[in-house]
Amino acid sequence: MVKRFSPGLLPRLVQGVAERTRGLPVTAWLAFAAAAALAGGGLFAAACGRSGAVGNTEAGAPRRGASTASVSAAASAAATGDERLDVLWAAAAAAPEGEADELLRLAHYAGSPGLVEAAQAGRSAVVAARALAFTDDFVGAPFLADLARTGAPEEAAAALDALLELAAQPRRAVDPEDAAELRRAALGLRDLAHDAKAPRAHRVAAVRALRMLADRGCVRDGEIPSDVDAVVPPAAATAR
């Protein structure tokens, strides 16, 4: 079996020639050196030839084939959809209200970005909002705030419930990474809280969420309306 040529082989060949031709005539030394050089060149050529063949037939072609197969598999998966997500989504949608296990599984599988993308692609926004309540970041907060302002009543209610759950989470060291999302969500909630045409229950929930988010620095106290959730005293009590 031919070994691969090593850069250190030529100096060893020269040294060997010198040792074996010490004391011989110059013509004999030259002949021996030429034979050794030809042998070394043959070894080098054979080694490179084997290396090239391995690279083309054993390394190059299969790697290209694997890459193409991977791309095809990814394209096929994208075309046919995520079957696991379909199963989890259906289970979460069918779960009775108040049972969180299926929503938790969906949230852990899809994550905040996946839930938002799925809702924007046409899946149930109510299911997405309910599952977002079980995430541990604020990536989906802007989506929830928009849904609370512009969604159907059931969608808006689910979005506000999720925002209240997220706002109630203890602060973590990673919260600064969510600053942009928190600010966008806070602005949406602020607009909802100030919207006199919005349902009062939705405005009250928005104010509650804003107050819980205020200590995170994403909204100022002055931006939060103070009269939306104020208790109006009965007329009799006022008269007294």
Residue ranges per structural domain of the chain: 9-79, 87-135, 137-231
* Token pair belonging to 25: 């005539």
Q: What is the pLDDT of residue 8?
A: 52
Reported residue count of the chain is 240
Q: What is the pLDDT of residue 184?
A: 93
Question: Contact at 8 Å (CB) between 163 and 148?
Answer: yes
- pLDDT over threshold 70, residue 24: no
- pLDDT over threshold 90, residue 132: yes
Q: What is the pLDDT of residue 233?
A: 43
Question: How many C-beta atoms lie closer than 10 Å to residue 16's C-beta?
Answer: 12
* Token pair belonging to 70: 């991977």
d(CA 27, CA 163): 94
Element (H, E) at 134: none
- pLDDT over threshold 80, residue 193: yes
> Per-residue pLDDT tens for 81-121?
689 999 999 999 999 887 899 999 999 999 999 999 999 99
Would you give the distance in Å from CA 90 to the centre of its chain? Answer: 23
Question: Contact at 8 Å (CB) between 202 and 157?
Answer: yes
193 CB burial (10 A radius; 0-12, 13-18, 19+): buried
- pLDDT over threshold 70, residue 228: yes
Q: What is the pLDDT of residue 179?
A: 84
Mean pLDDT to the nearest integer, 57-77: 34
Mean pLDDT to the nearest integer, 6-21: 50
**Average model confidence (pLDDT) across the chain:** 73
